[in-house]
Structure 1
Amino acid sequence: MADYRILLLGPPGAGKGTQSKRLADEYDLDHITTGDALRENKEMETEYGTPAEYMDAGELVPDPVVNEIVVAALEDADGFVLDGYPRNLDQAEFLSEETDLDYVVFLDVPEDELVDRLTGRRVCPECGANYHVEFDQPAEEGVCDECGADLVQRDDDTEETVRERLRVYRENTEPVVEHYRDEGALVEVSGEGTPDDVFDRIQDVVEN
């Protein structure tokens, strides 16, 4: 398999996590997320301290620490799919200095569709299983297939909260999209349709 270096961008609900995992499995790549990289390297010493110092205090890990952790993860990978980083323009500019990307793919989904996807999620409070009122329904409405508990909507999946998450995304992360568009590196792919449909479109970009 080719050692592709792929960055997947898109708003909350666009399907980045799903598609990143599929790409990693298909092409035998490392799936690198900011959260995983921080958890796996909590005690890594940087000029600004360890991630654990911030995480244990419930504080946001500062960009310089995140940058060092992510770059360390990239250096250990022959090929990778990067998901959830960079989140702002400073991180994007840092990444451009540290590695060359083969593909920067942006999953484009209309906001109303994102709201439907995110507000339709239902979770099991007992075992953590995830469902969706349209795309991934349990056998019995409102009841977990795994353990039989009543499904709930998380507080951060209400429409008001979802639209605020999308506003924050636009404010912080859309400049990242423009950064790669200005560089001529961005490939926009429709994120609408089934996960299989979207994956086929991404594969067309990677292989052609």
Structure 2
Amino acid sequence: MGKHILLLGAPGAGKGTQSKRLASEFDLEHVTTGDALRANKDMDISDMDFEYDTPREYMESGDLVPDDVVNEIVKTALQEADGYVLDGYPRNIEQAEYLTEITDLDAVLYLDVSEEELVERLTGRRVCDDCGANYHVEFAPPEEDGVCDDCGGELIQREDDTEETVRERLTVYHKNTEPVVNHYRDEGVLVEIDGEQTPDGVFDDVAEVVEDA
């Protein structure tokens, strides 16, 4: 049976990068609410009586998608996976308690990165408008400025990667998700990783914890 790993960290901490490597190295499913929500961003949720009628409207406004919608997406994804790396969930205490009800975790890791480093990382991110490949103007630039190495598509800055939106996302993160980190820390299960190392250095620390889980 595959391991059940939870990776926590602020937006830009490197959860996606490390989760993908973990998934590949340990043959786990990479479960991210971000991908699931983007895949379902135009889902009609008008019957749930929320402020907006689709997840897209929440994402574009910088607000968080309601727990009930996210919970259903995550529950289905975890049930379909043998082992998994969960990335981007839970985002608040209620989701953390829900997660405890639906699954058992083998390891909980937290990538610790300073706020200014997070802003620098996020505002420099560029995404291919065609194939979705990720680049960074400083850390992982394309061979030709503004052009995707893989498919030649145009590289764009996503709306949620502008500095104003990034700082808003971090404010929301601190308010809602830092209590989740403290929750697992209080339970004595949180392993803190220095997220400002090189990606390889971070992965070495993360993989060591997962191997021992």
Provide the TM-score with structure 2 as the length reference: 0.79
Pairing 1:8–2:12 present = no
Match of 1:100 among 98, 104, 107: 104
Q: In the TM superposition, what is the alpha-carbon distance from 1:118 to its structure 2 partner?
A: 1.0
Structure 1 segments unaligned to the other structure (5+ residues): 43-47
User: 3-state SS of the aligned residue for 2:86?
Assistant: strand
Q: Kindly tell me the number of residue pairs found equivalent between the two proteins.
A: 199
**Corresponding position of 1:161:** 165
Q: In the TM superposition, what is the alpha-carbon distance from 1:126 to its structure 2 partner?
A: 6.0
CA RMSD of aligned residues (A): 2.9
Provide the TM-score with structure 1 as the length reference: 0.81
Distance 1:38 1:86 in 2: 14
User: 3-state SS of the aligned residue for 1:78?
Assistant: coil
User: 3-state SS of the aligned residue for 1:165?
Assistant: helix
Amino acid of the residue matched to residue 64 of structure 1? D
Amino acid of the residue matched to residue 100 of structure 1? D
Pairing 1:147–2:146 present = no
Distance 1:39 1:204, change over 3 A: same
Q: In the TM superposition, what is the alpha-carbon distance from 1:92 to its structure 2 partner?
A: 0.4
Contact kept in structure 2, 1:32 and 1:83, CA below 8 Å: yes
**Corresponding position of 1:79:** 83
- The percent identity for this pair of structures is 69
Distance 1:38 1:140 in 2: 31
Distance 1:36 1:57 in 2: 12
User: 3-state SS of the aligned residue for 1:93?
Assistant: helix
**Corresponding position of 1:24:** 23
Distance 1:187 1:141 in 2: 38
User: 3-state SS of the aligned residue for 1:81?
Assistant: strand
Pairing 1:90–2:89 present = no
Distance 2:207 2:14 in 1: 15
**Corresponding position of 1:45:** none
**Corresponding position of 2:194:** 190
Q: In the TM superposition, what is the alpha-carbon distance from 1:94 to its structure 2 partner?
A: 1.1
Distance 1:189 1:89 in 2: 21
